[in-house]
Amino acid sequence: MTTTTERPSAAPAPVPGNIGIGQTVHDSLVIAKRNLLRMMRIPEVVIFGLIQPVMFVVLFSYVFGGSINIPGAGLDASAYREFLMGGIFAQTVTFAVAGPSIGIAEDMSKGIVDRFRSLPIARGAVLTGRTFADLVQTALILLVLAVVAFLVGWRIHEGPLKALAAFGVLLLLGYAFTWIGALIGQSVRTPEAAGSAGLIWLFPLTFISVAFVPSENMPGWLQPVAEYNPFSAVVMAVRDLFGNLPQGYQPPDAWPLQHPVLASVIYSVLIIVVFRTLAVRKYKSNAG
């Protein structure tokens, strides 16, 4: 009589849809580590990311300083430098959109994203890990930029806690924009197209705002556009928290500029919710 011994079946491989929150966080951090190591091996990416904001600080400070009228300060060059820095900081973090848009497009063109899809990891972890890595890079760029700004005369006047809150608002905006980049990177065919699509719309967004000139100096029809621009709310919040608004300056009556910190958080959270949902949905549909 032959006895048949049944071998225990192997545990099924986890399916991305069945992965819990803890595993999702772990997968996201692993992907983030992979992207950070990649950035460290290509330091010129970070270096070139620093050149543009540093050039903006120097050029705007010494070329336009003393030429632009600031309500409450007139043509004072030193007041303009402090007024300017909120806009430069905010513009710098919005350019974080380029990192994930180009990086994801490049990974897709090389088939790396397809390999990730074949692994039993959370679907959103690939994108979340990429955005975490870009957030770290943005924080590093902000640190270096703050040092350069200090050298040209920028100062913090409201103490360390409010300064930390200002940097927190900036990083929240930067993280929100990385999700826009994650969606763009999946929607184009080449890294070159991702670079153009990720940056071309940022120039009107940042310049039609209160970043570089007060909205009062703009044509009347353009003022509401600048004042309700989410970017303007962040710029005004940062100036307020750093204490860089000229004494006697009265912000426009638009609600986002009257309550800039709250408006900044609301805008950034909405961008994260909307574009993370769209980016993860796009990732899943591409996998199908």
> Three-state SS for 74?
strand
Confidence (pLDDT) at 2 = 47
**Which of 267, 90, 109, 275 lies closest to 181, judged by CA?**
275
Strand partners, 70: 74
What is the pLDDT, as a whole number, of residue 139? 92
Q: What digits encode the pLDDT tens for the residues 150-162? A: 888 888 998 899 9
Q: Distances from the Cα of 287 to the Cαs of 51, 62, 72, 184, 280, in angstroms? A: 37, 51, 56, 16, 11
All residue ranges of the chain with pLDDT < 50 are 1-17
pLDDT of residue 74: 61
- C-beta neighbour count of 146 within 10 angstroms: 16
DSSP 70: B
Task: Write down the pLDDT at residue 73.
Answer: 59
Assess contact for 94 and 84: CB atoms under 8 A: no
Q: CA of 35: how far to CAs of 32, 74, 124, 256, 272, in Å? A: 5, 46, 15, 35, 20
Handedness of CA 145, 147, 149, 151 (dihedral sign): negative
Structure tokens at 135: 């957030």
The closest alpha carbon to 94, from 167, 171, 164, belongs to: 171
Q: Is 126 helix (H, G, I), strand (E, B) or coil?
A: helix
How far, in whole angstroms, is CA 59 from its chain's centroid? 23
**Other beta carbons less than 10 A from residue 13's beta carbon:** 7
pLDDT of residue 18: 54
Q: Which pLDDT score, from 0 to 100, does residue 260 have?
A: 95
The secondary structure of residue 250, as a DSSP letter, is: -
The first and second tokens of residue 194, run together, are: 């991702």
pLDDT number for residue 61 = 75
Task: Check residue 1 and give its pLDDT.
Answer: 45
For residue 74, the cross-strand partners are: 70
CA 168 to chain centre: 12
